[in-house]
Amino acid sequence: MGRGRLRVLLGAAPGVGKTYAMLEEGHRLQDEGSDVVVAIVETHGRKATARLCEGLEQVPRTTVRHRGVDLSEMDTEALIARRPAVALVDELAHTRAPGSAEGKRWQDVRRILDAGIDVISTLNIQHIESLNDVVEQITGVPQRETVPDDFLRRAEQIEVVDLAPQALRDRLSAGQVYPAERIDAALSNYFRLGNLTALRELALLWLADEVDSALVNYRAQQGISQTWEARERVVVALTGGPEGEILLRRGARIAARSAGGQLLAVHVVSQDGLRSADPALLAAQRSLVERLGGSYHQVVGDDVPEALVEFARGVNATQLVLGASRRGRLATALTGPGIGATVVRESGNIDVHLVTHAAAARPLRLPRAGGALSRRRRIAGFCLSLLAGPLLTIALVIGRSATSITSDVLFYQLLVVVVALVGGLWPAVFTAVMSGLTLNVFFIEPRFTVAIASPQGWATLLLYTLVAVLVSVVVDRGARQTRAARRAAAESEVVATVAGSVLRGQDAVQAIVERTREVFGLSAVRLRALGPSRTGGPLEAGRAPGELLTESVGEGANPAGGTTTSRFEVGERAVLELTGPDPAASERRLLNVLIAQLDAALEHSDLAETASEVAPLAASERVRSALLAALGHDLRRPLASATAAVSGLRITGPYLTEQDRQDLLETADDSLGALSTLINDLLDVSKLQAGALSITPVPVDPAEVIVFTLDELGLGPDDLEIDLAHGEREVLADPILLQRVLVNLLLNAQRYSPEGIAVRIATSTFADQLQIRVIDHGPGVPAERLAGLFVPFQREGDTDNTTGLGLGLALSRGFVEGMGGTIGPEDTPGGGLTMVITLELAGAGEPEATR
């Protein structure tokens, strides 16, 4: 008996039709003669789903009692005993009731599969364990029920049940997914159009990656090495040279020509990490790859062509882009074909593009004669040769015999190798020549002459010299790699130290300047403004040329100055002045990296400074203009009305009827009351902007605040629809300020609601938050005006004496945010505007038992 086959129907969100599709497939298989049973199906009250269950055999559920409540669960043992051909299991990620044999439903499914029963199941994308955090970032809702990826990947078939986001929202609005009381909250939270679009894309991309993995596994199992061009994948090989940008843009254009093309950049690092590459250029090219929509990869391998071809085949690449060789014809003739020619030969059916660039075919340069060894080691090599050579000659002459010439040659050869190991090339060549002459004078006939009478003597001298050169080359290369390794480690440590200083809160510019002084042993490092440049950047516009931006002075150095040995421009913003020893050529690489980081830090600092300066000024200007307009218009109207009423009473009081007198008094009272309200609102706005408004959130029942709000407005249950679904949960809020917010929102909703259609106020809970909705069915607010809805002194209409300054929504937002919540607008289904207040529930984050 083999293991059963698992088929998973994957959806982007609840309601896309996974369960319906599973039941339809069950009916189809049953019609074809398969033995199909329903192990468990959750209908969630959906009539269409319940009707589709009819006609399929259902395994009776088992009952589990937990805390005095009977919970029905899938009876796994009964299902295995029934042994159908196919079992339909809904909601693969479901958590079983405590006391069940297994904790998760997918674990039950694993047992069913092991029993040889095929399973068709359903799953939402948010329940895949590797995507759990991504879904939480998108929706704001943590998912506690997950299915491990390795279990899901073992499924023989995974299908996406797809539904367009707007179609899903339409289904939700029509009541086909959730009951009516949950529709508004669902549409405004988890089922927002942006959320559904992101989840749908996530589901499709996850399935596409699984298809890629399945294709790679199949090719590996079948031993297929050639590329299958299922999707255009372009790999760009980066060397860390200046040609990388050209190659990347060419690769991006190639990938863009085919729909769904993918761009990958790869840099091969030698196993010892010493292959020459400019880290600043590599960092810039990595950033460019990401901006072009590609991905950056780094692989290790000493054989660059082999590593490139293996990587390209591993990602199923169809195109490989390389730069033309930088070596000239002579270097190519001496050292053989370059990387490009080898890749072309080994690439097989992968297309290879060799792109020319400005750095291609550079002229041949001779290596430095000095090598990598220090002067001290070369002097030590010469001293060892001059000291050990005569001593060895004396010892060999004393012990000379007719048959000792072979051992004499080997001793001198050993001396050449030892000197090469100590001093490198030139001491070894000197020792080889001197030992050859010594052998000729003291051990080769005719002795005591420097004449070389036979070709063998010349061969001996040439052999000594060749051995010395070869050994010294090996020593020189080892010393060079050791020095490069130490320098690379030191450079990495410096960069890590700079990054750590910034993470610990130190100013980035100051941190880089201080590390530069410490690393290069300088007495002082100063950063000065470069002055206005052709870019007209913010830093140049705000500082005079030569102005000191920051400095780092060592212990005992003269703070007033010193001899500046070198100056380096930092982009077009500043110049770096170094006081002390001039950095050696080998140190310029690290210095360039630090300068590049300094330029980026200055740019970030300029942008942040400009934003911090401009934003308050712009906001203050907007508030000032609006305040002047409001004071000149809105305050004048109630003041004028009150003045006119009082003047009328004073002048014509004896001639007025009692009714006229009451009307004038009522007008004055209403106008002065409106004026007092406007002034109080202005004072509250000032307090909010100054952060001086006292707000005290306490646990409060939203129903009580709503009741007080209705009393203040003189409204009853018949004047608006009330739907409170928060149960007995309390919310953290300042009850007085929350009441003011609700008064403002209800007044606005009533003002714009059509005659005969009541305003609706509703509450609901969602992910440890409570939401209060004030819903009207008026004209709504155009999308282009939503951004300015909460700006002070903005309002719709200007027709009565009670409209106000347009501070109601601005104050409401300030009050709600002061209580730690949010307030925002939404479109009412069918037309209108819904204002949503979101506040934290009291006791959020505590265990439910504690609550």
* Calpha distance 614→616 (Å, rounded): 6
Is there a single domain that holds both residue 743 and residue 785?
yes
Question: How sure is the predictor about 815, in pLDDT bands with cuts at 50, 70 and 90?
Answer: confident
Cβ contact 282:238 at 8 Å: yes
* Calpha distance 170→164 (Å, rounded): 10
Is there a single domain that holds both residue 49 and residue 194?
yes
pLDDT at 525 over 90: no
Domain boundary among 188, 221, 254: 221
Candidate ranges 53-57, 68-72, 144-148, 447-451; pick with highest mean pLDDT: 53-57
Q: Give the tens place of pLDDT for each residue, 12-24.
A: 888 888 999 999 9
Is there a single domain that holds both residue 116 and residue 55?
yes
Residue 101 counted as domain residue = yes
Question: How sure is the predictor about 344, in pLDDT bands with cuts at 50, 70 and 90?
Answer: confident
Is there a single domain that holds both residue 515 and residue 591?
yes
553-578 as b/e: b if 16+ CB within 10 A: bbeebeeeebeeeeebebbbbbbbbb
Q: How many domains does the chain have?
A: 6
Is there a single domain that holds both residue 139 and residue 40?
yes
Nearest CA to 494 out of 598, 581, 410 is that of 598
Domain boundary among 645, 674, 690: 690
Q: Report pLDDT for 606.
A: 76
Is there a single domain that holds both residue 217 and residue 245?
no
Question: How sure is the predictor about 683, in pLDDT bands with cuts at 50, 70 and 90?
Answer: low
Cβ contact 642:671 at 8 Å: yes
* Calpha distance 167→10 (Å, rounded): 17
pTM more than 0.75: no
The amino acid that residue 81 corresponds to is A
Is there a single domain that holds both residue 276 and residue 307?
yes
Average model confidence (pLDDT) across the chain: 76
- DSSP secondary structure, 308-370, as one string: HHHHHHHTT-SEEEEEPPSS-HHHHHHH-S-HHHHHHHH-TTSEEEEE--TTTTPPP-PPPTT
Residue 706 counted as domain residue = yes
Residue 483 counted as domain residue = no
- Give the sign of the dihedral formed by CA 297, CA 300, CA 301, CA 302: positive
Is there a single domain that holds both residue 237 and residue 319?
yes
Q: Give the tens place of pLDDT for each residue, 119-142.
A: 999 998 888 887 777 788 777 777
Residue 48 counted as domain residue = yes
Is there a single domain that holds both residue 213 and residue 245?
no
Cβ contact 73:62 at 8 Å: yes
What are the phi and psi torsion angles at 377 (to 5°)? -70, -35
Residue 368 counted as domain residue = no
Candidate ranges 96-110, 159-173, 323-337; pick with highest mean pLDDT: 159-173
Q: Give the tens place of pLDDT for each residue, 549-582.
A: 888 887 655 555 455 568 888 877 788 888 887 7
Q: Report pLDDT for 526.
A: 87
Residue 724 counted as domain residue = yes
Question: How sure is the predictor about 196, in pLDDT bands with cuts at 50, 70 and 90?
Answer: confident
CATH of the domain at 190: 3.40.50.300
- What percent of the chain shows pLDDT beyond 70? 72
Is there a single domain that holds both residue 258 and residue 346?
yes
Q: Report pLDDT for 672.
A: 77
CATH of the domain at 525: 3.30.450
Q: Which residues are CB-contacts of 167 (< 8 A; sequence separation ≥ 6)?
A: none
Residue 227 counted as domain residue = no
Q: What is the DSSP letter of 515?
A: H
Is there a single domain that holds both residue 347 and residue 391?
no
pLDDT at 686 over 60: no
Nearest CA to 321 out of 260, 261, 266 is that of 266
* Calpha distance 110→112 (Å, rounded): 5
Tokens of 509: 């510019």
Residue 682 counted as domain residue = yes
Structural domain of 54: 6-221
With 0-12 / 13-18 / 19 or more C-beta atoms within 10 angstroms meaning exposed / middle / buried, residue 746 is: buried
Per-state percent for the chain, helix, strand, coil, to nearest 5? 50, 15, 35
Question: How sure is the predictor about 837, in pLDDT bands with cuts at 50, 70 and 90?
Answer: very high
CATH of the domain at 742: 3.30.565.10
Is there a single domain that holds both residue 812 and residue 710?
yes
Average confidence (pLDDT) over 338-357 = 81
Cβ contact 407:509 at 8 Å: no
92-106, 161-175, 454-468, 729-743: least confident range = 454-468
What are the phi and psi torsion angles at 592 (to 5°)? -65, -35
**Number of helices followed by number of strands (H, E) in the chain:** 26, 24
Domain boundary among 305, 320, 355: 355
pLDDT at 851 over 50: no
